[in-house]
Chain A
Amino acid sequence: MRCVFFVVCSLWKVGEAVLIGAALYIMAAELSDLTVTAQLFEYTMLRKSVTESFGAAVSSLNAAHLTDGVIRRSKRMMLDTLGVGLLGTSSPVFNVVLQHGKMYQSKENSSVWGRPGTFLPPYYAAFVNGVAVHSMDFDDTWHPATHPSGAVLPALLALAETLHSKPSGLELLLAFNVGLEVQGRLLRFSKQAHNIPKRFHPPAVVGVMGSAAATAKLLGLSPTQSMAAMAIACSSAGAPMANAATQTKPLHLGNAARRGLEASQLALLGLEGNKQILDLESGFGVFYQDYIPQHLAEVTPNGHYRWVLEDQDIAFKRFPAHLGMHWVADAAVNVRTQILTEDPNADLRQIKRITLRVPSSRYIDRPIPDTEHQARHSFQFNCCSALLDGEVTVDSFSSKMMNRKSLRELLHKVHLENPEDNPASFEKMYCEIMVEMARGETHTARCNTFYGHWRKPLSQEHLVRKFKTNASTVLTSGAADGIVQIIENLEKIPDCSVLGSYMQFHKHVTQREQSYYSASV
């Protein structure tokens, strides 16, 4: 007779979810022959691990869980993302990665945005389109800070085009939101994540996880496979901040999109990773110094699910630069108005000194930026552009505008201060500008919440206008309108892959032509 007894003599928690018990494992071949061996081993008891809760959620969330608020907000995000992506197809970095991607042939094809007749394997389509989305730093920003949509939408659309049974608009919407939700939840596992990042660029950390989750959803992976997708994706997470403000930054989004997609595909083939990937400090925890993972709420088929997007809206940019620049621009425009109101003929070259009171963040503090990428990450540059022109636009970052004498001169007059009460957090920061004129008078303005921030969201009209302005640089106006319509009615669209075709309705080139674009486009 064999008996096995577990006597749990002490329990303690390691991490939030995994219970480790010291059990006296009593095994007996015969009752008279008792061998008592103390063993320390991990086992999950009644509670699932954090990782499992994510796998379960990704797999089980369904369309019924999407609330109206979440649907509305996420559709705005999709529209904005497509628009900035289209605009981005004109960027040099997009051209580089497209040439790179063209090295690879495929049986399956997904559309490259803005390039009629150009298709790539979904992995590379996701990559190049993701790069396009972030190429000009024009895409959405969330709190805690990341650019969530660019990591997810390109992967989903690329995948959708290759599925035999095309997903509906509603399925796309659901998968998209799963991708956002996972990112939002992961970002809340660390307090460090609430501030402007210093070490790892957030889209590279959570973006790939979001892409994995979203594509897992679209592929209909089981909870176990969904977990595996995230575990595999975790080994593709992380890129250092130093490459922000360089031409390589857009690749962070492109890579997140493609590697998350790949993770799902590998999981579908049966590849496994660490089943506790989100629970362990040596897992997803490596990217943070303070990592406290939490379970996702249980998902019941007909129950209510509280999405992060419901509680925390997103910021859309009005011009293509780092989010921090938007506070500066709004404050600068305000000061400019003050100056011109007092004296409509005021000559801004008469400005003697500009004091900028902003949060301390090294990678957006650039007195004299050299490249367009640096300019998009420069408090000083955006301040001066807004002062001179009354606004910052796409064109503000062209070489012509960047090299203006008047701008260069003004840049030399800017001084940065980092007040103690101005934290490097998109939720709490402000910008104060004080301009001292030649004759001694000063003008001050402060911006706490720029227009487009989640506290002061862009109106639907302005959002659609931004999309159309961007899209019409590449697409026919008919196609642009078509996309607006599709997104507006997304829940009712039977086949979401039509979006891919619309994204190729170039205004100058028709499908029959297969042109190759030079890097100077």
Chain B
Amino acid sequence: TLTSTLTSTTRRQHALQRTAPEETVTSSFGRFIQGVQPSHLSPKVIQRSKRMVTTEVFDLALQHCQHMYAPDDISFVYGRNGTKLSPTLAAFVNGVAVHSMDFDDTWHPATHPSGAVLPALLAISDMLPKNSKPRGVDLLLAFNVGIEIQGRLLRFSNEARNIPKRFHPPTVVGTMGSAAACARLLSLDPTQCSNALAIAASLSGAPMANAATQSKPLHIGNASRLGLEAALLASRGLEASPLILDAVPGVAGFSAFYEDYAPQPLPSPEEVEMHSFLLEEQDMAFKRFPAHLGMHWVADAAATVHKALMDLPIRSISPNMVQDILLRVPHSKYINRPYPESEHQARHSFQFNACTALLDGEVTVQSFQNEAVLRPELYELLSRVRVEHPQDNPANFNRMYAEVEVTLVSGDVFRGRCDTFYGHWRNPLSEESLKKKFRNNAGAVLTPDRVDALVQAVDELEYLDDCTPLLTPLQ
């Protein structure tokens, strides 16, 4: 009677409202993905995002895909000349490669945004026929859409600002970002874009416990490929919840991944004169060595102490000199490992990175190789480490610090502190440092001319009529 009439009336009204803009958060995201244009990219965003484009597990994932799936001459695998896989598998394998050593970029609130997005976009680009390759600026735009969506979603929860405890962020927002980016590159309509996000939500979420294991890189690989799949399924008409990003009491959508979830609609690109990309306000951190971001603070702090010790007449550091090493770091269980047993664990160990930097003055790619990890002098130092979690040191990449205090047998105390490591968004890597990192990494698998070609392609990305110059050298 009255109640049911009201219910049906409300539903009819609601149905009418669907044609009006911005009535759900989910649809606002769909509209943004479809509506944003290259002209919305500011020079700063272009510059920052290009920096991001410019990194065993990998082997295993590749082997799996090759074993399970016959060569599908479509998408390439990074650095494996002649190896091609179907697009989603290429995205998977390449995504795994990107995160295999925890060397990829980190944002605030915390996630590794690029690894989830770029492999999928490149896989699509490969998939498209020769004379329909996207322009460089299209690729750049789609990339930024993928990053932007991740940033927006992360801001829907206060919990997301701290070092994660439950779900590994790349698996939560990364899949969504990949879906968004792919939807954009595939030119899906707003409804399809929303559906892509919703389908992706059902493929999101992996527990933190697998971080610091060999499975962690698969988190990024999966985010990339599953986001791509979601976009492909949406392009075929698959529908999912139109309220996936909205907060609906009693039925969890994307909110399932957070304890506190307060979504906001994205402004429509037509409504605001210049859409402000988050990358404009919040820069990216690039790692100088392949380990969890938190390690960079202790490494820099320990390096200071190393330098001071090297200034002493003895000019060397031997464990016998050291009585005690105190680390003052934030409280975060999964990066507090006194005696890491694998390379993955070492990349997630305050203690290991502090001691390595104390011994060697720096942490490098080689620091995680077996010979380095198993050094007796390192073990000696590790056994002298104590960890404290000061109240004023939150588990938050924007506010944390690290202090390394070394007490020598002689009684002398040396202290180093790092508030902002070099490479953090507050102290970004110079163009030169970034390119050097790239050349060191890429040069391990590609010939020098290909490395140069890539540097150049990224430099000119927004001017390329065809992104092939970016794709070819990667094969």
Contacts and interface: CB of A to CB of B under 8 A. Distances in A.
Interface of A: 27, 37, 39-41, 93, 96-97, 99-100, 103-108, 121-123, 198-201, 204, 231-232, 234-248, 251-252, 255, 262, 265-266, 269-274, 276-277, 280, 282-287, 353, 360-363, 367-368, 411-415, 519
Interface in B292-341: 333-334, 338-339
Nearest to A107: B70
Contacts of A40: 338
A82 B254 CA distance: 32
B4 A266 contact: no
Given A106-B70, A235-B207, A236-B222, A272 B256 contact: no
A48 B207 CA distance: 22
Contacts of B356: none
Contacts of B165: 282
Nearest to B68: A121
B243 to A, nearest CB: 6
Contacts of A104: 69, 72, 86, 88-89
A240 B209 contact: no
B7 interface: yes
B86 A198 contact: no
Contacts of B426: none
B100 interface: no
A285 B207 CA distance: 8
A242 B210 CA distance: 26
A159 to B, nearest CB: 11
Contacts of A231: 209-210, 213, 215
A493 B240 CA distance: 41
Interface string B133-173: 00000000000000000000000000000000111100100
B430 interface: no
B238 interface: yes
Contacts of B17: none
A108 B68 contact: yes
B202 A235 contact: no
A282 B334 contact: yes
Contact of A283 (B207, B244, B252): B207
B253 interface: yes
A246 B197 CA distance: 14
A273 B72 contact: no
Interface string B169-206: 00100000000000000000000000000110111111
B448 to A, nearest CB: 33
Given A235-B218, A265-B64, A367 B11 contact: yes
Interface of B: 1, 3-5, 7-8, 11, 57, 60-61, 63-64, 67-70, 72, 86-89, 165-168, 171, 198-199, 201-210, 212-215, 218-219, 222, 229, 232-233, 236-241, 243-244, 248-257, 333-334, 338-339, 383-384
B252 A96 contact: no
B209 A277 contact: yes
Given A238-B206, A277-B209, 17 more contacts: A97-B233, A105-B70, A107-B70, A200-B252, A231-B215, A234-B209, A235-B168, A236-B206, A236-B222, A239-B201, A240-B244, A240-B256, A244-B251, A269-B63, A271-B214, A286-B209, A362-B250
B8 A412 contact: yes
Contacts of A235: 168, 171, 206-207, 210, 215, 218-219, 222
Contact of B202 (A96, A232, A251, A360): A251
A100 B86 CA distance: 12
B164 to A, nearest CB: 9
Contacts of B8: 367-368, 412
Contacts of A274: 209-210, 212-213, 215
A234 B236 contact: no
25 contacts: A41-B339, A96-B236, A97-B233, A104-B89, A231-B213, A234-B207, A234-B210, A235-B207, A238-B206, A240-B244, A240-B252, A248-B198, A248-B238, A265-B64, A269-B60, A273-B214, A274-B212, A280-B207, A282-B166, A284-B207, A286-B207, A286-B209, A362-B251, A414-B4, A519-B237
Nearest to B206: A235
B202 A362 contact: no
Given A103-B86, A198-B251, A362-B251, A412 B208 contact: no
Nearest to A204: B202
Contact of A368 (B11, B209, B255, B333): B11
A242 B7 contact: no
A353 B67 CA distance: 62
A413 B1 CA distance: 6
A102 B300 CA distance: 51
B335 to A, nearest CB: 12
A270 B70 contact: no
Nearest 9 CB-CB pairings of A with B: A362-B250, A283-B209, A242-B253, A235-B206, A248-B240, A239-B202, A240-B256, A273-B215, A238-B205
A239 B199 CA distance: 9
A213 B333 CA distance: 28
Contacts of B236: 96, 99-100
